[in-house]
């Protein structure tokens, strides 16, 4: 994965999808902060359209997809999928076209934010391509509907391998396989079987299993005792949002979608049309996603510098945005982070 694209100046090329609503503001903040930290990145900005670009209803042009394929990394702000038939959600498009099979969401308590839970430091790894999200449904007879969940050995082995590799690379010690194999004996049973198989190759990682309901109860009670979790699609969706709640919401969570060919990092919160263009948006989620991207590109020092500056700014409550009960703004917060980066270097 070392062969990321570079331009003539030796900067990495990264595709940027700024997004709708507050997307442009928080993307600007990211660009400014990355520049201040001297991150060697040249952004290739691409549009997301509001009309379908092809038969499948994609909102991305093929140039955009090719740009991501070529660069192998992209950062993306929040998007609105137009309402009405004939559009495919952007996430689905990206996931399908680029085979982004792993969704990764680290959730860590940020000091300085008034929170019910503390010392949370969790990572959810979610299988992103199959399970309940394949849209396989039919009406058997009027009043009886079926929805099909697919679990394949191939996808399970891939996500399992990714989870253990992630643990090694990020110095994590424990992985819990989350399932409901008591009920879905074959499907979730296969998922667990694959995890156990891969686990044998990683003897230093402590592996255990928990039913999804039991896991969620534990997270709601004592999340500080948990570490990494890996699970099929639907449970991943649910558990990752629960984890986001534990650290104060989606405005603070980073997320990445990883595939063999490319990786897309994104803020998972919405477009917040009510505050769009008003300089009130909190760029933290997109910034932290950007830092995750830097880790992915093995630009660890840059990632850490920016992350620490963000944590520090929030801990000292320097110009926080309104959602964090501060009196600052997007630009003031951005300046506060930049000030810390400059003092450091």
Partner 1 sequence: TFLQRPGEGNVKRVSLIDGEGVGPYLTDSVQEIFQAAQVPVRFENIPMVEAKEMSINIEKQTLDKLHQNDVILKGPISNDDTLMWNNHEISKALEIYAYIVHAFTIPGVNTRHKDIDIVLIRENSEGEYASIEHELLPGVIESIKVITRESSLRIAEYAFEYALLSNRKKITVVHKANIMKLCDGEFLEAAREISIRYPTILYEEMIVDATCMNLATNPQAFDIMLLPNLYGSIIGSIIAGIVGGAGIAPGANIGRKYAVFEQGARHSGKELAFTGQANPTAFILSAVMMLRHLGLPFFAEQIQNSVFKTLEEQKIRTPDIGGNHHTADFTRRIIENLD
Ligand X SMILES: Nc1ncnc2c1ncn2[C@@H]1O[C@H](COP(=O)(O)OP(=O)(O)OP(=O)(O)O)[C@@H](O)[C@H]1O
Q: Which position's Cβ is nearest ligand X?
A: 214
Tokens, residue 294? 């830097």
Of 214 and 224, CB closest to ligand X: 214
Interaction residues for partner 1, span 215-254 (CB under 8 A): 216-221, 234, 237-242, 244-246, 248-250
User: Closest Cα to residue 285, out of 318, 316, 259, 247?
Assistant: 247
Q: Any idea which residue has 């929170």 for tokens?
A: 115
239 binds, among ligand X, partner 1, Mg ion, none (CB under 5 to 8 A by kind): partner 1
Contact assessment for residue 301 and residue 295, using Cβ atoms and an 8 Å cutoff: no
24, exposed or middle or buried, with CB in 10 Å at 0-12, 13-18, 19+? middle
Total of chain residues touching ligand X, rule CB under 6 A: 5
Q: For residues 195 and 176, what is the distance between their CA atoms, to the nearest angstrom?
A: 10
Strand partners, 17: 76
Of 30 and 110, CB closest to partner 1: 110
Interaction residues for ligand X, span 157-186 (CB under 6 A): 182-183
Q: For residues 6 and 72, what is the distance between their CA atoms, to the nearest angstrom?
A: 11
Strand partners, 230: 125, 177
184 binds, among ligand X, partner 1, Mg ion, none (CB under 5 to 8 A by kind): partner 1
Of 120 and 320, CB closest to partner 1: 120
Of 13 and 238, CB closest to partner 1: 238
Nearest distance, CB of residue 270 and partner 1, angstroms? 11
Nearest distance, CB of residue 102 and Mg ion, angstroms? 15
Full DSSP string of 232-277 = -HHHHHHHHHHHHHHTT-GGG-EEEEEESS-EEEEE-S---TTTTT
Q: For residues 309 and 305, what is the distance between their CA atoms, to the nearest angstrom?
A: 6
| 99 forms part of the interface with ligand X (CB under 6 A) | no
Of 237 and 295, CB closest to Mg ion: 237
Q: For residues 345 and 41, what is the distance between their CA atoms, to the nearest angstrom?
A: 18
Of 233 and 334, CB closest to partner 1: 233
250 binds, among ligand X, Mg ion, partner 1, none (CB under 5 to 8 A by kind): partner 1
Q: For residues 75 and 45, what is the distance between their CA atoms, to the nearest angstrom?
A: 10
Q: For residues 226 and 214, what is the distance between their CA atoms, to the nearest angstrom?
A: 12
Q: For residues 94 and 65, what is the distance between their CA atoms, to the nearest angstrom?
A: 8
Binding mask 181-220 for ligand X (x = CB under 6 A): -xx---------------------------x-xx------
Nearest distance, CB of residue 210 and ligand X, angstroms? 6
Nearest distance, CB of residue 240 and partner 1, angstroms? 8
Binding mask 100-139 for partner 1 (x = CB under 8 A): ----------------xx--------------xx-x-xxx
Nearest distance, CB of residue 206 and ligand X, angstroms? 17
Q: Any idea which residue has 């993306």 for tokens?
A: 76
Give the single-character DSSP code of 327: S
Total of chain residues touching partner 1, rule CB under 8 A: 54
What are the residues binding ligand X (CB under 6 A)?
Answer: 182-183, 211, 213-214
What are the residues binding partner 1 (CB under 8 A)?
Answer: 116-117, 132-133, 135, 137-139, 142-154, 180, 182-190, 211-214, 216-221, 234, 237-242, 244-246, 248-250
């Amino acid at each position: 994965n070392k062969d990321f694209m570079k331009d003539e100046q030796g900067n990495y090329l990264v595709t940027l999808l700024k997004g709708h609503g507050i997307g442009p503001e928080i993307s600007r903040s990211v660009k400014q902060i990355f520049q201040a930290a001297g991150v060697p990145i040249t952004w290739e900005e691409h549009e997301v359209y509001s009309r379908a670009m092809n038969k499948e209803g994609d909102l991305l042009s093929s140039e955009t997809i090719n740009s991501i394929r070529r660069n192998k990394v992209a950062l993306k702000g929040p998007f609105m999928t137009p309402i009405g038939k004939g559009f495919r959600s952007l996430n689905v498009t990206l996931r399908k076209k680029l085979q982004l099979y792993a969704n990764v969401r680290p959730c860590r308590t940020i000091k300085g934010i008034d929170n019910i839970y503390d010392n949370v430091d969790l990572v959810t790894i979610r299988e992103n391509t199959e399970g309940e999200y394949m849209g396989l449904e039919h009406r058997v007879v009027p009043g009886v509907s079926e929805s099909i969940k697919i679990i394949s050995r191939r996808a399970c082995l891939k996500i399992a391998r990714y989870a253990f590799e992630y643990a090694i690379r990020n110095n994590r010690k424990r992985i819990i396989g989350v399932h409901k194999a008591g009920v879905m004996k074959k499907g979730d049973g296969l998922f667990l079987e694959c995890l156990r198989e891969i686990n044998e190759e990683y003897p230093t990682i402590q592996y255990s299993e928990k039913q999804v309901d039991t896991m969620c109860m534990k997270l709601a009670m004592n999340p500080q005792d948990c570490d990494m979790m890996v699970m099929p699609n639907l449970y991943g969706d649910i558990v990752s949002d629960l984890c986001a709640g534990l650290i104060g919401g989606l405005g603070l969570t980073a997320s990445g979608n990883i595939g063999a060919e490319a990786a897309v990092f994104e803020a998972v919160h919405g477009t917040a049309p009510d505050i769009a263009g008003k300089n009130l948006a909190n760029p933290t989620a997109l910034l932290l996603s950007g830092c995750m991207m830097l880790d992915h590109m093995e630009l660890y020092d840059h990632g850490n510098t920016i992350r620490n500056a963000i944590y520090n700014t929030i801990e000292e409550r320097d110009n926080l945005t309104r959602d964090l009960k501060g009196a600052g703004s997007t630009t003031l917060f951005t300046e506060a982070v930049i000030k810390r980066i400059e003092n450091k270097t």
